[in-house]
Structure 1
Amino acid sequence: MTPQVVFVHGIRTSATMWRAQVEHLTAAGIGAHALDLPGHGTRMSETFTLDGAFETIDAAVTDAAARGPVLLVAHSMGGLVSIEYMGREDRPPVEAFIAAGCTSIPRGAGLTMYRTLARGFDRLPRRGQPLTDMVLDRTLPPETRADFAAGGYAYDAQDTALRSLSVLDLVSALKRISVPMWFVNGQWDQLRLNERLFTALKPEAELIVVPRTSHLVTAMRPRVFNAVIDLALATMAQERPTSG
């Protein structure tokens, strides 16, 4: 059976943020499935809920698992939700997990400040889009620059999604995850706040910090991130029992 990779995007973005990774895997003959969470991308008219996000991830994983062993790859908000999903009492059909840009507990003063900043951007002309465009123009390579905007920006879902994250029990979830796992952060990622806690809770996981890289590690260093995916797939193949 052919390995399958399921991708979960971060807040405000959509499945299109994974274009570089999908193209890389497709060229190698590996199944690649980038989904849209409720309230994002092709589902922007929907309301974001955690239950809806879990159902979306589980449906994609279950479908992919019918075709081959699954690697789950998730970024930012999608990573936080996927940690909770992976830490279920009933283990999902996933053989390895990459959690990128999500080593932070989303509650307390940190979450409040993040929501306050997001609301402030919303009050700017065009909801701060010109500033976002300027930052992306200066930090992302031409090959991935258009990917974040291609599916549209889910401004209306942002505060609802952020607020909902506070109920996640990531500490308990991390303790229950039993598959090979990688934490991937950019050196300048603002969500490295609890990196030491996450690696202490999951000491067998590998931590990869990409130098001179922001929170948008998947797009800022696409070749590096693709290499991490290749590493995870190779690890899965090595650990999978062979027939005969």
Structure 2
Amino acid sequence: MESSGAGLPIVFVHGLRVSGTMWRPVMQAIGKDRPTAAPDLPGHGSRRGEPFSTAGAVAAVVDAIDQLGGRALLVGLSLGGFVATATAGAHPERVLGLVAMGCSTRPSGLFAAAYRGAGRLAARHPREADRLSAFAFRRALSGPAGEALVAGGLSSGNASSVLTAVCETDLLASLSAYPGPVWLVNGERDHFRRDERRFLAACRDGRLLLLPGRGHLTVLADTGALAALVHDAAAVAAARTTAAAVAPGGLR
């Protein structure tokens, strides 16, 4: 698990095929004023070879939160956004805020069928899929951001089971169950933003941020801007936590 260590803790959740190293540039930009962690989900990175399930992924995130003191802001992209959202819905008492990036869609119909088909193909030819993914990641993101995506190794062999789990997860129910602040962050060109208005409507305390000119992966291109966005979300979450603690009936 990537980690650093005061301020409100932040747990970063990685995307499909990659590992917690994908968040290394953002964690470095945030610095040591806030404790951070980026766990590897089952079947990825240091846990390559383990079966993936939504429950197992949520458990990995909860374990990372507990290692940082028991409550944290969650930041996830793509698969990481799905898992972070599922964690917030299942364990709202542990999640001080949620930044869900590139995951504002309900996989269904032809959209889901296409991605499941791609997942099955990757599972049949994992080495070739890993090489193609590494090339695509470095092509989309040059420099440290691209290298961070591949630094922990790639895990294309489990893509089919991961995509099946994602398609079977009801993220709208998770958002409805979570009472804390939510930031839905999408690149303007990201195809995973097609249901963003429905996702926003499901949030009790949500806001939608659209990054002009960015795609699914290139939201990671401007590390400084992304770190600033996370800093701002952490500040809001910290302020609300403090306000709740001093309110009548709150923790003192």
TM-score by length of 1: 0.88
Over 3 Å counting, the alpha-carbon distance change for 1:209 and 1:119 in structure 2 is same
- Please list, as runs of the form range in 1=range in 2, the aligned pairs for 1:126-137 lying within 5 A after superposition: 126-137=127-138
Aligned pair 1:156/2:161, yes or no?
no
The CA deviation at 1:104 is 0.8
Hey, what's the Cα distance between the residues in 2 that align with 1:28 and 1:108? Answer: 44
Task: Write the letter of the residue equivalent to 1:58.
Answer: V
The CA deviation at 1:126 is 4.4
- Please list, as runs of the form range in 1=range in 2, the aligned pairs for 1:207-222 lying within 5 A after superposition: 207-222=208-223
Over 3 Å counting, the alpha-carbon distance change for 1:227 and 1:77 in structure 2 is same
Aligned pair 1:57/2:58, yes or no?
no
What does residue 167 of structure 1 align with? 168
CA contact 1:13–1:40 (8 Å) conserved in 2: yes
Q: Which moved more, 1:116-125 or 1:14-23?
A: 116-125
The CA deviation at 1:237 is 3.0
CA deviations 1:98-149 (Å, max 9, x no partner) are: 0011001133332111121334456679424454344333321312120111
CA contact 2:138–2:147 (8 Å) conserved in 1: no
What does residue 20 of structure 1 align with? 25
The CA deviation at 1:47 is 1.2
Q: CA RMSD of the aligned region, Å?
A: 2.3
TM-score by length of 2: 0.86
What does residue 83 of structure 1 align with? 85
Hey, what's the Cα distance between the residues in 2 that align with 1:121 and 1:83? Answer: 26
Over 3 Å counting, the alpha-carbon distance change for 1:215 and 1:79 in structure 2 is same
Task: Write the letter of the residue equivalent to 2:203.
Answer: K
What does residue 194 of structure 1 align with? 195
Hey, what's the Cα distance between the residues in 2 that align with 1:39 and 1:17? Answer: 15
Percent of residue pairs bearing the same amino acid type: 30
The CA deviation at 1:76 is 0.8
- Give 3-state SS (helix, strand or coil) of 1:145's partner: helix
The CA deviation at 1:238 is 2.5
Hey, what's the Cα distance between the residues in 1 that align with 2:145 and 2:131? Answer: 18
Pick 1 or 2: higher relative contact order, CA cutoff 8 A, min separation 6.
1
Which of 47, 54, 57 is equivalent to 2:51?
A: 47
Hey, what's the Cα distance between the residues in 2 that align with 1:218 and 1:33? Answer: 20
- Give 3-state SS (helix, strand or coil) of 2:92's partner: coil
Over 3 Å counting, the alpha-carbon distance change for 1:55 and 1:110 in structure 2 is same
Hey, what's the Cα distance between the residues in 2 that align with 1:46 and 1:70? Answer: 26
Over 3 Å counting, the alpha-carbon distance change for 1:39 and 1:121 in structure 2 is closer
Count of equivalent residues: 240
Hey, what's the Cα distance between the residues in 1 that align with 2:8 and 2:72? Answer: 6
Displaced runs of 4 or more, over 6 A: none
The CA deviation at 1:235 is 0.8
Task: Write the letter of the residue equivalent to 1:180.
Answer: P
Over 3 Å counting, the alpha-carbon distance change for 1:221 and 1:118 in structure 2 is farther
What does residue 107 of structure 1 align with? 108
Hey, what's the Cα distance between the residues in 1 that align with 2:122 and 2:41? Answer: 22
